């Protein structure tokens, strides 16, 4: 037997779906400049640093903290790929970041957590994966297992595990500034 949903229920569903999309775009906007913002310096702190000139990379390990403006990334291991030589006189440009080991990214009241994250600066795309990728903005929470953010446009896509679903918790009046 097919049961029809009342129009009010369908309307509420589409309103929540639109709010989730708006929430994801608002969240991703906070990270749109991370790593590709030429106006703010990137500061990296770690227990250890290994530079590999042959592969144009540097690996930071041990409670790694990366800061740029209002954005902060924390992880256990961060591999930075750059164009140019670390010993050369020309300024290096970061081409890719790979973070592994419980990744935490924050900007203002927004956070994202997962097991791994990669930032492709040439394509301007960030991908965060894990058993559980959790996005939060204030009291609102979205959970999946793969987050892809276009750093240029701010468009975000959160996918659920094959055997699960994306979960969303939106507090009343939290998206309209009340």
| Residue 168, helix vs strand vs coil | strand
Q: How confident is the model at residue 177 (pLDDT cuts 50, 70, 90)?
A: low
Rounded to whole angstroms, how far apart are CA atoms 161 and 166?
A: 8
Q: What is the pLDDT of residues 58-99, one digit of tens each?
A: 999 999 999 888 889 999 999 999 886 555 534 567 889 999
Q: Domains, the chain, ranges and CATH?
A: 7-169 (2.60.450.10)
> How far apart are alpha carbons 94 and 82 in whole angstroms?
4
Determine the Cα–Cα distance for residues 53 and 67; give it in Å rounded to an integer: 24
pLDDT at 118 over 60: yes
Say which residue, 97 or 23, is predicted with more confidence: 97
Cβ neighbours of 52 (radius 10 Å) = 12
Rg (CA), the chain: 19
Neighbour count for residue 158 (Cβ, 10 Å): 23
Q: How far is CA 149 from CA 100, 117, 146, in A?
A: 18, 11, 10
The two beta strands, 167-169 and 140-150, are antiparallel
% the chain with pLDDT above 70: 70
**How many whole angstroms separate alpha carbon 9 and alpha carbon 155?**
27
């Amino acid at each position: 037997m097919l049961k029809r949903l009342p129009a009010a229920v369908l309307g509420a569903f589409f309103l929540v779906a639109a709010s989730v999309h708006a929430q994801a775009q608002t969240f991703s906007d906070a990270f749109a400049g991370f790593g590709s913002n030429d106006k703010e310096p990137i500061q990296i702190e770690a227990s250890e640093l290994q530079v590999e000139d042959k592969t144009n990379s540097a690996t930071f390990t041990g409670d790694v903290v990366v800061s740029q403006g209002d954005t902060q990334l924390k992880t256990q291991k961060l591999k930075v790929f750059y164009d140019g030589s670390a010993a050369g006189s020309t300024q290096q440009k970061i081409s890719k970041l790979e973070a592994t080991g419980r990744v935490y990214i924050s900007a203002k009241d927004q956070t994202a957590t997962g097991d791994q994250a990669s930032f492709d600066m040439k394509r301007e795309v960030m991908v965060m994966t894990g058993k559980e990728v959790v996005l939060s903005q204030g009291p609102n929470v979205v959970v999946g297992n793969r987050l892809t953010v276009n750093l240029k446009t701010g468009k975000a896509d959160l996918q659920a595990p094959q055997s699960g679903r994306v979960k969303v918790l939106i507090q009343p009046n939290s998206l309209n500034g009340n």
